[in-house]
Amino acid sequence: MGNDIFLIGIDGGGTGTRAVLADARGRELAQGSAGPSGLALGIEAAWRSIEAASAEACARAGVAFDWRHCVLGCGLAGVNHRAWLNAFRASAPLAALAIESDAYTTVVGAHGGAPGVIVALGTGSIAAALDASGACRIAGGYGFPSGDEASGAWLGLRALSYAQQALDGRAPLDALARALVAHTGAPDRDALIVWSCEANQTAYAQLAPIVLAHRDHPAAAHWIEQAGIEIGRMIDALDPAAALPVALCGGLAQALASAVPEPHGARLVAPQADSAHGALRLAEREAARLGLTAPR
């Protein structure tokens, strides 16, 4: 295969899939995107999204898409479920495949493969640390509503509680409460109960921007402060010696960076790259392991 080899890095989660296409030397050619590929949504659906994102990247680069000429690195949500992982591997349309969790590829991308810590803050949350041996450890990420501290859904759950209390007089029906209630479209107590029963993690996370827009409100300021404390706890759990650089990643990273207390705040660095580029590093390693390319 030699020079005909293409490397593809995949970041696959519950909301979407991103592909990064590179040549055999690791030079990026194009990117593509598609629907979700988290394994919890089904193995066939995951492979359809991965193929669609990869094909789009190839089309943008002007090269023919053919799995026989690809080495694929995947960072996917759900690989900790061994039955799902085994089924995913068994359904693979190519042999040159490396798979890790999306947390792993996020920390690899953020620190360029060097040791470091990440805290990923989006709809959910998780923290990961990569040590000098290449081992990855995880903190948090247990899922909503019991875990995923400092995430969008975590903030949204607290915001909904405030809105509920405002509707029945336990809290003031102020600008924050009115904005939250308006977002749900619930005109009264009963309607808000229905909304809360039907809402999933994503729906709760959609309340987070309202919290951030009212960050000077005492309640919102308290939740944001608590989010910063939770981020610090995850960092401490993974790096008690405070020896590693820390990158915040995900959609809420910028908004919550200022809430991270010292001494953690002084250790924050900008991520070098994202999870898809971390997955591309997996593809590079796999290609070298198979003797298809020279190690970088």
Give tens-digit pLDDT for 1-54.
Answer: 445 899 999 999 877 899 999 999 999 999 999 998 989 889 999 999 999 999
Predicted confidence at residue 1, as pLDDT, reads 40
Residues 219 and 173 reside in one and the same domain? yes
Q: Where residue 90 falls among pLDDT bands split at 50, 70, 90? A: very high
Does residue 221 fall inside a structural domain?
yes
Does residue 145 fall inside a structural domain?
no
Return the residue matching tokens 């501290």: 149
CA distance 259 to 222: 10
Measuring CA to CA, which residue among 158, 136, 134 is closest to residue 230?
Answer: 158
Q: Are strands 97-101 and 136-139 parallel, antiparallel or unpaired?
A: unpaired
Residue 143: pLDDT above 80?
yes
CA distance 200 to 125: 15
Residues 261 and 177 reside in one and the same domain? yes
CA distance 96 to 270: 32
Predicted confidence at residue 157, as pLDDT, reads 97
The amino acid that residue 12 corresponds to is: G
DSSP code of residue 15:
S
Measuring CA to CA, which residue among 68, 70, 69 is closest to residue 19?
Answer: 70
Write out pLDDT tens, residues 221-270: 999 999 999 999 999 999 999 999 999 998 899 999 999 999 999 999 99
Q: How many CB atoms within 10 Å of residue 68?
A: 10
Residues 160 and 263 reside in one and the same domain? yes
Q: How far apart are the first and last CA of the chain?
A: 18
Residues 156 and 224 reside in one and the same domain? yes
Measuring CA to CA, which residue among 142, 147, 179, 175 is closest to residue 160?
Answer: 179
Q: Are strands 116-121 and 246-249 parallel, antiparallel or unpaired?
A: parallel
Predicted confidence at residue 2, as pLDDT, reads 44
Does residue 294 fall inside a structural domain?
no
Predicted confidence at residue 67, as pLDDT, reads 95
Mean pLDDT calculated for residue range 264-287: 95
Predicted confidence at residue 241, as pLDDT, reads 94
Does residue 124 fall inside a structural domain?
no
Which residues are bridge partners to 106 per DSSP?
none
DSSP code of residue 174:
-
Query: Are the C-beta atoms of residues 151 and 144 closer than 8 Å to each other?
Result: yes
Residues 282 and 214 reside in one and the same domain? no
Residues 258 and 278 reside in one and the same domain? no
CATH code where residue 41 lies = 3.30.420.40
Does residue 144 fall inside a structural domain?
no
Residues 187 and 262 reside in one and the same domain? yes
Residues 103 and 163 reside in one and the same domain? no
Does residue 245 fall inside a structural domain?
yes
Residues 232 and 157 reside in one and the same domain? yes
Which residues are bridge partners to 7 per DSSP?
22, 71
CA distance 141 to 137: 12
CA distance 41 to 228: 31
Residues 252 and 160 reside in one and the same domain? yes
Predicted confidence at residue 296, as pLDDT, reads 58
Write out pLDDT tens, residues 109-127: 999 999 999 999 988 899 9
**Least confidently predicted of 23-32, 119-128, 133-142, 285-294:** 285-294
Q: How many domains does the chain have?
A: 2
Residues 107 and 73 reside in one and the same domain? yes
Does residue 6 fall inside a structural domain?
yes
Share above pLDDT 90 across residues of the chain, in percent, rounded to a whole number: 82
Mean pLDDT calculated for residue range 54-75: 96
Mean pLDDT, the chain, whole residue set = 93
Does residue 172 fall inside a structural domain?
yes
- Domain with 249, as residue range(s), is 152-267
Find the length of the chain: 296
Predicted confidence at residue 82, as pLDDT, reads 94
Residues 160 and 261 reside in one and the same domain? yes
| Alpha-carbon dihedral angle through residues 152, 157, 162, 167, given to the nearest 10 degrees | 120
Residue 201: pLDDT above 90?
no
